[in-house]
Structures are given as structure tokens and as C-alpha cells.
Amino acid sequence: MPKKNTQTAFQKNNLFWTLGIIFIFFLLLGVATPLSGDDWTWASSIGLHRLSTGFIGYNGRIISNVLEIIITRNIFIRVFLYASLSTGLVYLTTKIALYKSTIHIWPYFLTTGLYLTLSTEVYSQTFGWFAGFINYILGMLPIFYFILWNIEHKNNHQKVSIYNSVILLLVGVTSSLIIENVTIYSILLAITAIIYFFKKNKSQLLGIYAYTIGTLIGAIIMFSNPIYKTELTGNSNFRHVAFGAAMWTKVSQIYTSAMYKYVFQENGLIILIISICLIICLWRKTSNVLNSIFKAILSLILISYAFFSAFIRNLLPITNFDQMMVSYLLASFSILFIVALCLSLIYIGNTTIRWHLLFYILSALILSAPFAVISPYGPRCAFATICFMILAALKLFNYVTSFSSELINISRSLSLVFGCFSMLFILIIMSTNGYINQERAKKINTQLAKNQKVIYVSRLPFQQYNWDTSPNITRFQHNMYMKRMHISITNHKLVFVPFKDRNSKF
């Protein structure tokens, strides 16, 4: 017994230091990440005006809106929240996917690496942009917390306390006041949990009911904002919702122009892990001739799409091919991959894992569904779906590597190396951007002191990892940046120049 207690204490100590390292990493990343795009707007008097009106006519994301106003004004709160929420996302993702394997340190580094290496465009609008971060990263935490709570309590027959019920009520309210698709998903998740626990374990229903009531309260508060009625009736200048026959046209248009790319094509590493693991599951047991042919077809589709998305996704540049034809071709390829993925689940021997994977797939579809009829659709809209893809990748990776002790040892080493390399890589990239962003302010002040009418500002060297750091002159954010840098809009002209020309213009 003392030996077991010592081992448990050692494992907890390992977890503490692992999460501590990840927290410090995100702390440094938060310091390096500059404010950009909508951050400048929220940091101005416009943000306070929106707050004074209760965000009426803007949106119903009360919690994320208030937090955005705070973090754009206080760097210490901004960096602390960035590190805390990011570490929380890594922790919850790992715990959900690898519930019984999280005593080790490697899964946390693997999870961190997968989040850091997702689509560059999605990264730029989530981890690389505070306005996106406080909506889309924060939005995943309440639903992941509730999913983990379900996992931990499905076999617990002790009645839920009033204290825990109040916490779940608050989690439910929070989950519905951050981002719209998460609000819808939270309600559906709560209803599903009620049905499941009503059949399996009624002792936990009080907590489930509390969460459900919370989601409904939050949803009522969010959607009582008149902006949603304006959008549904087609009177909004920004967001448009399609109904009837136009809905299917909109679904096709959004999926073929953007969704397939941000969800599948640009997340090659996640797709590759899922595909290889499924192929191993397919061929783990011998089959008859017809079954073998079927598995060979599935394997070919899985590995072809994985190889394409991971290594040669730029095979058909739109500058040299018909854009519409390429979009339809690649979107169709992604749908074929989804079908092959779903059919491959039949060959997973572990029933529990198969049901978990089906849950992840359904969750990903539900979180993407609202965006199929709502435009515009941006890279950040894919983040919640990608989170469940990462869950699937982690679940399959852990399952497949458990087949032999050699695979376990190799996978742990590779996960640690991959996670550490990803963290180092992105920290160097973002630190460089952060340094140049600080230099921009100094060079602007130098030019203003010389009474220059045209102010030249260098673009960030790796601006693809941040969102809207050098806005086009036609965009509202262009003027917001000028005001933030104390550049007169009437007396000066602001020109963003390539990073390579950063010294020649000044």
C-alpha cells in the first residue's frame, strides 16, 4: 500500500510539473502575441460603448465580449488568461481522450503539439488573435468540462451535491454565452446526457439537470439580443442566414469554398494520424477475399487523402487551374474520406472506443452545421470541429500503440519530441513577430517626429500566424491601427511594406 501511494504521489507530481511547463510556454506565447484586428476596436472607446449598450445590436456573446474588453486593456490579465485557458484546453482534451493514460506526461505534449500544428489560418484566428482566442478557445472549455464530468460520473452512484449542481449550472450558463454554435451544441449535449443517465445512472441526474437549465438560461440571454432576429430576417449587413432552397446552395457554396479546406485539407498531421491508426485497425484481423477488397479500398482512400492533405495539398494551385473545378474536386475528395472514415469504425475491435469515436464525429458535425448556412465562414469557425478531430486522433493513437510494448515506448518518445519541437518552433515564430511588432511602434514614432506625411510600417515576418496585423486600407481596422499609433487619419497616409523592405523605407 505505501508503494502504491508513493507511485500515485509521483504521478501527480509529474502531472503538476508537466502542466507547469505547458503553462509557462503559453505564458511566453501570450507575451509574444500582439494585439491585432478587432483587438484594437475592443481596446478603444467603441468597446466601452458596446458594453454600455449591453452589446445590443452587436451579438449575445456577453462573457467573451466582456473578457475581450478587459484583456485588451491589461497585459497581465491578458497573458494570464491566455496561459490558463490554453493549458486548460490541453488538460481537458487529454483527459477526455486518454482518461486512463493521463498519469503519463507524453499525452499532454502530444496534445499541445497537435493544437500548435493545426491549420495556420485557423491558428492565426484563434491562438494568434486575442479576439478569436477569447471566443473559440474559451468556448470549448465549458463543454469539455461537462464531457469529462460525464466520463467521471457515469459509474458514480453517489448523489450529486447541491454545491456541484450549482457549479454545473454556472458551467451551463457560461457555455451558452460565448459563441453561438457552442450554445446550440451545449443544449443538445445536455439533452443527450439526460437520456443517457436516465437509462444508466439516475443518481447523477441532478447535476445533468442543473447543467441543462444553465444552458437554456444562457441561450435565452444570448438569443434575446435583437441582432439575431435581424440576421434571421436577412436584414444584417454582416451575417446572412439561408433558408429553403437557397439553404442547400449555401451549404454547397460554403463547404466547397472554405469548410473542407479549414477542417480537413489544412490539418494534414491530424488526418494522417487518424488514417494510419484506422488502417492498422482495419488489417489487425484476417478476413475473407471480399472483406479484404473492401478494406483495401477503404485503406486506399484513407492513406491517399492523408498523404494529400499532409504533403501535397498545393498540387492544384488556383492560379493555374479553374478555381471552381479544383474546389469541387477537393471538397468531393474530403467527403469520400469522411465516408471511408465512418465505415472504417466497423473494424475497431473495442466497442467503447468505437462509440467514443462516433460521438466525436457527431459532435464535429453538429458544431460545423450552423456555419453551413451562415455566412461569412472564416478559419476560426472550424476550431471547435478540429478539437473533436484531435480527440479522435489521440484516442486512436493511444489505442493502436497499446497493441505492443515496443509501440508504446516508441510512441511516448515521439510524442515528447514532437510536442517539445512544436512548442519551440511556434515560440520562435511568435517571438519574432512580437519583437518586430514592438519595433513598428518605435519606427512610427521616429517618422512622426520627422513630420513625414507617408508613414511606412513593416509587415510582420510571419504574419500568417497572426490575424489582421497589417490591415488593408479599405478595412475599418486600418483606421483603428492609425488611431492606436496616434497617426492622424487626415494628415498622414499609412503604408504597410514587406518585411524585407523594413529598413529601406525609413
Interval 428-443 mean pLDDT: 95
Among 176-185, 267-276, 302-311, which stretch is predicted with the lowest mean pLDDT? 302-311
Task: Between 248 and 86, name the one with better pLDDT.
Answer: 86
Give the global pTM. 0.93
Report DSSP state, residue 261: I
Q: Which of 213, 210, 341 is nearest to 270 (CA)?
A: 341
Task: Between 5 and 38, name the one with better pLDDT.
Answer: 38
The domain ranges of the chain are 431-501
How does pLDDT run across 28-54, given as a tens digit for each residue? 999 999 999 999 999 999 999 999 999
Residue 234, pLDDT above cutoff 80? no
Run of H or E including 221? helix 205-223
Residue 325 neighbours by CB under 8 Å, 6+ apart = none
Residue 465, pLDDT above cutoff 80? yes
User: Would the CA dihedral through 435, 440, 441, 447 be positive or negative?
Assistant: positive
pLDDT at 238: 67
Q: Which of 251, 280, 172 is nearest to 218 (CA)?
A: 172
Interval 445-458 mean pLDDT: 92
User: What is the full DSSP assignment across 309-325?
Assistant: HHH-TTSS-TTTS-HHH
When pLDDT is cut at 50, 70 and 90, the band that residue 284 belongs to is confident
For residues 181 and 370, is the Cβ–Cβ distance under 8 A? yes
Residues 180, 318: Cα–Cα separation, whole Å: 33
pLDDT at 245: 67
Residue reference for cell 479553374? 322
User: What is the full DSSP assignment across 282-316?
Assistant: HTSS---HHHHHHHHHHHHHHHHHHHHHHH-TTSS
pLDDT at 270: 96
How does pLDDT run across 40-95, given as a tens digit for each residue? 999 999 999 999 999 998 999 999 999 999 999 999 999 999 999 999 999 999 99
When pLDDT is cut at 50, 70 and 90, the band that residue 1 belongs to is very low
Q: 3-state DSSP call for residue 455? A: strand
CA atoms within 13 A on the CB side of 308: 17
Report DSSP state, residue 147: H
pLDDT at 11: 64
